[in-house]
């Protein structure tokens, strides 16, 4: 019997997740993240601690380390191989080796964020993820995912039931009346300098 609630968690904790870690590495990806996070953080103030949902090998946290060298950074990650890579970084305050769906908020951070992860979560579990993002944030929430105005499933590397697009940020705004949209932007895969996966980012703030 699986320890996970959904087939998507099993998928990313196992061999496919391991292969993803090997495919996604390199200074170019960190540079692209630096370009994106610099735009996002320019709209924030006083971010001293950050929690990432679904850190993988830490490419986002590597970029944030350069932009916020004094900030306390933590991450949640389901895949054991990825957790080893996170531990190698040596500067993370906490690494939660767990599924997001098993995570319990211990304290709030100035910024909680998720990038390229909600698209891979079972849609039925999204309300729980929205609640965790909200509960773990003292002020800012960043969502960076594939956008679609209505929910749609896309075949992902030959697999069905593993990638879903929708208006994640809009659903967060509808769910929590004290959230407001601060800024948003698009990262283009064919950007001349910093290609970053055709994702759309949304920065939200608690009023």
Asked whether residue 115 is assigned to any structural domain, the reply reads yes
pLDDT digits (tens, 9 = 90+) for 140-167: 999 999 999 999 999 999 999 999 999 9
Is 1 part of any domain? no
**Tokens 């890579």, residue?**
85
* Tally of domains within the chain: 1
**Average pLDDT for residues 195-203, to the nearest whole number?**
90
HSE of 182 in the Cβ direction (CA atoms, 13 Å)? Answer: 20
- Residue 140 lies inside a defined structural domain of this protein: yes
CA 113 to chain centre: 5
Average pLDDT, stretch 201-206?
A: 98
**In-domain check, residue 89:** yes
115 close to 88: Cβ distance less than 8 angstroms: no
List the CATH number of the domain containing 14: 3.40.50.150
Average pLDDT, the chain: 95
Structural domain contains residue 198: yes
**Residue 65: pLDDT above 60?**
yes
Average the pLDDT over 58-65 and give the result.
97
Strands 94-97 and 72-77 turn out to be parallel
Q: With bands split at pLDDT 50, 70 and 90, how would you rate the model's confidence at 29?
A: confident
Percent of the residues in the chain that have a pLDDT greater than 70, as a whole number: 99
Average pLDDT over residues 4-20: 92
- Give the DSSP letter of residue 156: B
Q: What percent of the chain has pLDDT over 90?
A: 86
| 159 bridge partner residues | 156
Residue found by looking up tokens 């390199």 in the block: 26
Element (H, E) at 141: strand 137-145
Structure tokens at 193: 């300098």
Q: How far apart are CA 2 and CA 44, in angstroms?
A: 40
Work out the pLDDT band at 79, boundaries 50, 70, 90: very high
Q: How confident is the model at residue 1 (pLDDT cuts 50, 70, 90)?
A: very low
Q: What residue numbers bound the domain in which 168 lies?
A: 7-206
Examine residue 2 and state whether it is found in any structural domain, yes or no. no
pLDDT, one tens digit per residue, over 110-132 is: 999 999 999 999 999 999 999 99
Q: What is the pLDDT of residue 2?
A: 65
Average of per-residue pLDDT across 13-30: 86
* Assigned domain for 71 exists: yes
What's the pLDDT band for 108 if we cut at 50, 70, 90? Answer: very high
Backbone angles phi, psi at 144, to 5 degrees: -130, 100
Structure tokens at 155: 């075949």
Which residues contact residue 10 at a Cβ distance below 8 angstroms, ignoring those fewer than 6 apart? 2, 4
- Indicate whether 107 belongs to any domain: yes
Least Cα distance to 58 among 23, 28, 84 occurs for: 84
Q: Which residue bears the tokens 């993002």?
A: 133
C-alpha distances in Å from residue 119, one per residue of 17, 146, 149, 156, 166: 14, 7, 14, 10, 8
């Amino acid at each position: 019997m699986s320890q996970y609630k959904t087939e998507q968690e099993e998928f990313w904790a196992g061999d496919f997740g391991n292969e993803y870690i090997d495919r996604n590495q390199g200074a170019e990806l960190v540079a692209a993240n630096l370009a994106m996070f610099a735009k996002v953080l320019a709209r924030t103030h006083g971010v001293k601690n950050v929690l990432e949902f679904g850190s993988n090998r830490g490419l986002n946290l590597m970029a944030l380390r350069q932009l916020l060298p004094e900030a306390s950074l933590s991450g949640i990650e389901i895949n054991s191989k990825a957790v080893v890579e996170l531990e190698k970084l040596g500067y993370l305050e906490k690494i939660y080796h767990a599924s997001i769906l098993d995570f319990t908020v211990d304290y709030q951070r100035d910024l909680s964020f998720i990038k390229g992860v909600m698209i891979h979560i079972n849609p039925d579990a999204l309300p729980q993820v929205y609640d965790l993002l909200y509960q773990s944030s003292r002020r800012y929430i960043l969502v960076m995912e594939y956008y679609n105005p209505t929910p749609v499933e896309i075949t992902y590397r030959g697999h069905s039931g593993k990638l879903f697009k929708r208006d994640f940020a809009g659903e967060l705004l509808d769910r929590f009346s004290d959230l407001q949209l601060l800024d948003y932007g698009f990262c283009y895969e064919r950007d001349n300098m910093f290609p970053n996966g055709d994702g759309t980012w949304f920065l939200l703030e608690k009023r």
